[in-house]
């Protein structure tokens, strides 16, 4: 074996200093836990999961420096020094003038949507995200998808930046409704529901130019911006010798602000923030954060959490870390691909998205909820917890009440940062490959309880055929 072969998937760039036991439930115990949870993996207890890859949100392992930072928490009600450290860090790395802390990303989404959207507005974006669209629609806007068509095709593996905005679609929306009805374009970097797909710097620049030509703000969903920067560095000509820090700073230089969930690329377990360059918007945002979050110098976070976030944001831009992070996803993808498991390609930066429609080709999207069924089946078979990202997550149209029918019907295998090793991923891949061999034994699901909003979090189901996996 050559050195290049050995370094294809380099070892974890960290040492393990503390361990946490993992659950090892029997098949019967898993079946009972799943039934109790209404076949919704969100409702399974953490202690009932063997490998938990439901989400990478807040499930990160913090570093020794972050844990040390917790001991320096200034829990003053106003003017915490940890806020000023976070503010200084975000200003340096992102380049925005103003920072408003929030308890997590959806707190920032709520403030942004409430302050900028009026009934009848339209918000274009490069594919929807669940909570983002909810806040936009709750304030009276209509979301309009302007991502390139290839983003909706799981089999197109020849497009390196499937998260790109289709400028013709964006222009068509402007022509249709008028720029005055578009308060901002929501530019996600990376695009979660497309499979963690990145946006090129060229497309970011072009989107910014088009938006600003019409006085439309560019507001990023910056949740996984470091992963996006890594893909720019590795895939876009002219950036191979740029640092991750330089690329992140340039990305945001073309925009007007961002929402950020600190629970992802900030490597923390809680927290978020809203950034902007507009002073009037900042003043109104601080007024709103007082009403719903807390003081403008903590916004729903403890001082220690802000300190950990400031440290983690810098650590996330370390190239050894982010290279390993993205290569863990690629490793899992290549293992699953060897077993012919259908997936969204190219592999993204935070998760593998299995194509549930192709995996369970005997099930109907509307009638059988294949992604929900597959996510439940993976847990019952292996103890691995994953997440549905299909028709259940897409929800219903506010006007017609009918289900949205996303072209991508997937389950998401989301890898927490600095938590699992390649050996854990081997178990995940081997289990799913085995399940794929008996995929036609998996039953569809039907609704037992359907919440009116964000139904994927707390909805409940049951197998249509009496048992989820025939004979298992």
Burial of residue 460 (CB within 10 Å: 0-12, 13-18, 19+) is middle
C-alpha closest to that of 349 among 215, 223, 184: 223
Per the annotation, the verdict on 142 as an active-site residue is: no
Cα–Cα distance measured from residue 330 to residue 195, given in angstroms and rounded to the nearest whole number:
12
Q: Of these residues, 55, 89, 116, 130, which one is catalytic?
A: 130
Name the token pair of 73: 């928490």
Per the annotation, the verdict on 379 as an active-site residue is: no
Name the token pair of 122: 């339209």
Per the annotation, the verdict on 439 as an active-site residue is: no
Cα angle 219, 454, 388 (rounded to 5 degrees) comes to 95
Per the annotation, the verdict on 42 as an active-site residue is: no
Q: Of these residues, 122, 129, 134, 273, which one is catalytic?
A: 129
User: Which letter, b or e, does each residue of 119-155 get, where b requires 16 or more Cβ atoms within 10 Å of its Cβ?
Assistant: eebbbbbbbbbbbbbbbbbebebbbbbbbbebbbbbe
C-alpha closest to that of 143 among 155, 151, 135: 135
Do residues 428 and 332 lie in contact, with contact meaning Cβ atoms separated by under 8 Å? yes
Q: Of these residues, 162, 264, 304, 335, which one is catalytic?
A: 264
Report the DSSP beta bridge partners of residue 219.
Answer: 186, 257
Number of H-type helices and E-type strands within the chain: 19, 14
Q: 102: helix, coil or strand? A: strand
Tokens 């992963």 belong to residue: 227
Q: Are strands 460-463 and 445-449 parallel, antiparallel or unpaired?
A: antiparallel
Per the annotation, the verdict on 456 as an active-site residue is: yes
The gap between the terminal CA atoms of the chain, to the nearest Å, is: 41
Per the annotation, the verdict on 56 as an active-site residue is: no
Q: Of these residues, 2, 4, 24, 77, which one is catalytic?
A: 77
Tokens 């408003």 belong to residue: 100
C-alpha closest to that of 168 among 143, 203, 121: 203
Q: Of these residues, 217, 389, 417, 455, which one is catalytic?
A: 389
Q: What are phi and psi of 272, to 5 degrees?
A: -175, 180
Q: Are strands 122-125 and 98-102 parallel, antiparallel or unpaired?
A: unpaired
Q: Of these residues, 52, 56, 221, 368, which one is catalytic?
A: 221
Q: Of these residues, 50, 96, 456, 461, which one is catalytic?
A: 456
Per the annotation, the verdict on 389 as an active-site residue is: yes
Cis peptide leading into residue 179 (ω within 30°) = no
The residues carrying an active-site annotation are 77, 129-130, 221, 264, 389, 456
């Amino acid at each position: 074996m050559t050195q290049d072969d050995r370094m294809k998937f380099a070892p974890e760039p960290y040492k393990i200093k503390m361990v946490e036991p993992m659950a090892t439930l029997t098949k019967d115990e898993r079946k009972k836990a799943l039934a109790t949870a209404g076949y919704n993996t969100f409702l399974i207890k953490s202690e009932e999961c063997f490998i938990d890859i439901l989400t990478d949100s807040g499930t990160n392992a913090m570093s020794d420096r972050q844990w040390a930072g917790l001991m320096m928490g200034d829990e003053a009600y106003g003017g915490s020094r940890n806020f000023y450290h976070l503010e200084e860090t975000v200003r340096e790395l992102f380049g925005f003038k103003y920072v408003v802390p929030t308890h997590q990303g959806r707190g920032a989404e709520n403030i942004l949507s409430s302050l900028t959207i009026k009934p009848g507005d339209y918000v274009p974006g490069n594919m929807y995200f669940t909570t983002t669209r909810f806040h936009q629609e709750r304030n009276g806007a209509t979301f309009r998808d302007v991502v390139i068509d290839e983003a909706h095709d799981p089999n197109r593996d020849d497009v390196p930046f499937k998260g790109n905005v289709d400028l013709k679609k964006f222009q068509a929306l402007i022509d249709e409704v008028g720029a005055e009805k578009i308060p901002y374009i929501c530019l996600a970097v990376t695009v979660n529901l497309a499979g963690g797909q990145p946006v090129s710097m060229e497309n970011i620049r072009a989107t910014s130019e088009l938006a600003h030509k019409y006085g439309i703000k560019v507001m990023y969903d910056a949740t996984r911006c470091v992963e996006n920067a890594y893909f720019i560095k590795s895939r876009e000509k002219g950036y191979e010798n740029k640092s991750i820090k330089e690329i992140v700073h340039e990305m945001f230089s073309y925009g007007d602000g961002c929402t950020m969930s600190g629970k992802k690329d900030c490597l923390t377990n809680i927290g978020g923030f809203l950034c902007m360059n507009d002073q009037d918007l900042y003043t109104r945002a601080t007024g709103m954060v007082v009403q719903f979050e807390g003081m403008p110098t903590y916004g729903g976070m403890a001082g220690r959490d802000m300190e950990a976030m400031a440290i983690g944001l810098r650590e996330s831009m370390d190239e050894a870390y982010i290279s390993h992070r993205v290569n863990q996803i690629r490793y899992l993808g290549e293992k699953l691909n060897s077993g012919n498991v259908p997936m969204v390609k190219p592999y993204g930066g935070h998760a593998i998205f299995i194509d549930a429609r192709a995996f369970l080709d005997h099930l109907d999207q509307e009638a059988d909820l294949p992604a929900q069924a597959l996510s439940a089946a993976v847990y019952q078979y292996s103890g691995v917890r994953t997440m549905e990202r299909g028709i259940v997550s897409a929800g219903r149209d506010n006007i017609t009440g009918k289900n949205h029918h996303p072209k991508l019907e997937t389950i998401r295998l989301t890898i927490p940062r600095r938590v699992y090793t390649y050996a854990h991923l081997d178990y995940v891949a081997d289990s799913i490959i085995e399940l794929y061999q008996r995929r036609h034994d998996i039953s569809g699901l039907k609704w037992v309880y359907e919440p009116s909003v964000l139904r994927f979090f707390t909805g409940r189901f049951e197998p249509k055929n009496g048992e989820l996996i025939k004979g298992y």
